[in-house]
Structure 1
Amino acid sequence: MTEAAYDERPRRRGRKVLVGLLVLLLVLVGLVVLADRIATGVAERAIADQISQELTRQQASAAQPEVEVGGFPFLTQVAAGRYERITIGLRDVKGTVEGNSVDLPVLDVTARDVTASLDTIRSGQGDVVAARVDGSGTISYDSLAGYLDRPGLKLGERDGKLSVTAPVDILGQQLTVTGAAEIAVSEQGKVALRFSELDAEGLPNVPMAQVLLNNYARSISIDVPLPELPFQLTVRGVTPRPDGLQVSADARDVPINSVS
C-alpha cells in the first residue's frame, strides 16, 4: 500500500468526525430551539387564560386572546427576569357600559420592557411590571350610535371625519340630516362628540327650522363613556376609520400579572 493511501485514510476519518460533530451540534441547537418554543407556548397560553378570566370579571367577552411573547431566546429572558415585549390581540370584544352594549371588533395591546423575577415566575407571587403598555382598539359605529338613541341615525367615516346621517322631522317635513362631528377625548376619558356642521336638503328657509336643526345637533352632541380597558390603559386619542372609531391608549409602569 502506498504512502498516499495511508495519508488519505486519516483525512477521511477526520472528515467523518467533523461531519458527525456538525450534525450533533445541529441536533442540539434544534432541541434547544424546540424547548424554547415549548416554554414560550406555555407562557403564552397562561397569559391568554388570565386575560379571559379578567374579561369575564369585567362582564365582557371576546374570542380567545392571541398572545405572543417577543424576543429570542425566551428562556434567556426568563433567566434575566426581563422580556422585550408581549403582544395581545383581542377580537370581537363585547362589553356593557351604563346599560349599553359596546362592541370592539379589534383591541391590540403591546407591553414593553416587562420585568419579572424567576422566583415570581416559579411561584406566581410577586410583581410582573411593564414599563410601557400601548393599546389600539376599534369601536363599532353601531355601538356608538346606540348611545345617541335616535331611530335611523347612522355614523361612519367621511374624509377623515365622523359623519352622521339621520331622518329628522322638522316643521312637519321628514328630512335627511347629514353632517360631521368634532371628536376628542374628555378629561374623564370619554369620547366627546360635537355635531356643529349639520345640514338638511330641503330645510325650510325660516328661522325656526334652523333653530330645530341646531337643537337636534345639540341633542346628539354627548360624551360617550368607554368600557374599562385592561392594563390600566388610558385613552389618549380617537380617529374615525372606515371600519369604526379607532381608539389609542397607553399606560406606564403597569402590573400585568393582573390585567385589571
Structure 2
Amino acid sequence: MRVWRAVLIVAVVLGGLFVAADRIAVSVAQNKAAERAQATEGLDHKPKVSIEGFPFLTQAAFGKLDDVKISADDIAARDGGQSLRIATFDAHLHGVKFSNGYRTAIADSADGVAFITYADLSKAAPLGITVSSAGTSADGKAMVRLTGTIPGIGAKLSVLSQVTVRGADSIGLHAVSLPKELTALGLEDNVRQQIDFVRQLTHLPSGISLTSLTTSPVGISVAAGGKHVTLAG
C-alpha cells in the first residue's frame, strides 16, 4: 500500500508540474501572438488572444491549435474620413497553425463580430450629418436615421437610411426616400451624393469578410467570417 501511495503522490506532483508548465507556455504563446497581431494589423492597442483547450503543449507539438479567441478594442479608423473606428472586435478562430516562433498564425476558418457606435458612424458621415438608431423596417431591413443640414445645400433633413454590407470590408447607407420639397426642386441626385455613403472597416484580419449586420439602440454589429484567416504574419 505504501508503494502505491508513493506512486500516486509522485504522479500528482508530476501532473501539477505539467499543468504549471503548460499554463506558462500558453501564456507566453498568447502574448507573442497578440504582439504579432498588433504589428501585422497596425493596431494602436495590443489585442487579447486566448488559446482554448488543454493541454496546450500537446496541441503545440502538433503545430495546430483547435480554437483561438481574439478580442480587440478601439480599432482606429484610417486617416481621410473614408473608414470607420471599430469600438470592439471579437473573433473565434478554428484550426490555427502557428509557425516561425509564433510570428505567423493562420486559421483554417474564423468568424467574428465588429461593433460600431452611432457616434463613430456620425464622425465618418458627411459634415453636419448625425446618424442615430432607427430600428428595423417592417420587412426586416436594418435602418438608421440621418439628421442635420445637407452640405452645400443648407437644407435641413431627417431621413431613414438602410444600412447594408458592401463588399468584403465596407458598409453603406442609402436613404429610403427624400423630402418632397427637395425632390420637387430636382435636387435628389445632389442630395444623395451628400448623404448616401460607404465607409470601410480597416485593420481586420486578412482573409475575413463582412457577411451581415444588425442594428441596436447603441450601434451596429457587423458579422464577419472567412477561411485561411491570418491572425499574425
Shorter-chain TM-score tier: 0.7 to 0.9
Structure 2: gaps spanning 5 or more residues: 137-141
Aligned partner of 2:96 in structure 1 is: 114
1:159 partner SS: strand
Aligned partner of 1:41 in structure 2 is: 27
Q: Give the number of the structure whose residues are more often strand, by fraction.
A: 2
Q: CA deviation at 1:121?
A: 5.1
Q: 1:167 to 1:184 in 2, by over 3 A?
A: closer
RMSD between superposed Cα atoms in Å: 3.0
Q: 1:166 aligns with which of 147, 152, 160?
A: 147
2:201 partner SS: coil
> Highest CA radius of gyration, 1 or 2?
1
Aligned partner of 2:111 in structure 1 is: 134
Q: CA deviation at 1:230?
A: 1.8
Q: CA deviation at 1:19?
A: 3.5
Q: CA deviation at 1:183?
A: 1.8
Deviations 1:169-190 (A, max 9, x none): 8xxx986x43422122224642
Aligned partner of 1:231 in structure 2 is: 206
Q: For residue 165 of structure 2, what is the amino acid of its counterpart?
A: V
Aligned partner of 1:149 in structure 2 is: 126
Alignment of 1:240-259 (within 5 A): 240-258=215-233
Is the 2:130–2:148 Cα contact (8 Å) retained in structure 1?
A: no
Q: 1:97 to 1:245 in 2, by over 3 A?
A: farther
Deviations 1:153-174 (A, max 9, x none): 33222333433252448xxx98
> Do residues 193 (structure 1) and 173 (structure 2) align?
yes
Q: CA deviation at 1:48?
A: 0.8
Scaled by the length of structure 1, the TM-score of the pair is: 0.73
Q: CA deviation at 1:145?
A: 1.8
Q: For residue 113 of structure 1, what is the amino acid of its counterpart?
A: G
In the aligned structure 2, how far is the partner of 1:189 from the partner of 1:101? 10
Is the 1:155–1:162 Cα contact (8 Å) retained in structure 2?
A: no
Aligned partner of 1:211 in structure 2 is: 184
Alignment of 1:32-71 (within 5 A): 32-56=18-42, 60-62=43-45, 64-71=46-53
Q: For residue 40 of structure 2, what is the amino acid of its counterpart?
A: E
Q: For residue 75 of structure 1, what is the amino acid of its counterpart?
A: L
Is the 1:163–1:178 Cα contact (8 Å) retained in structure 2?
A: no
In the aligned structure 2, how far is the partner of 1:36 from the partner of 1:19? 25
Q: CA deviation at 1:195?
A: 1.2
In the aligned structure 1, how far is the partner of 2:81 from the partner of 2:147? 23
Alignment of 1:83-122 (within 5 A): 83-99=65-81, 102-116=84-98, 120=99
In the aligned structure 2, how far is the partner of 1:156 from the partner of 1:193? 12
In the aligned structure 2, how far is the partner of 1:193 from the partner of 1:156? 12
> Do residues 27 (structure 1) and 13 (structure 2) align?
yes
Structure 1: gaps spanning 5 or more residues: 1-13, 200-206
Q: Give the number of the structure whose residues are more often helix, by fraction.
A: 1
Q: CA deviation at 1:68?
A: 0.5
Deviations 1:108-167 (A, max 9, x none): 122101234xxx455x68x7431102221112222222333242x332223334332524
Q: CA deviation at 1:99?
A: 3.9
Percent of paired sites with the same residue: 24
Aligned partner of 1:8 in structure 2 is: none
Is the 1:133–1:231 Cα contact (8 Å) retained in structure 2?
A: no
In the aligned structure 2, how far is the partner of 1:71 from the partner of 1:28? 20
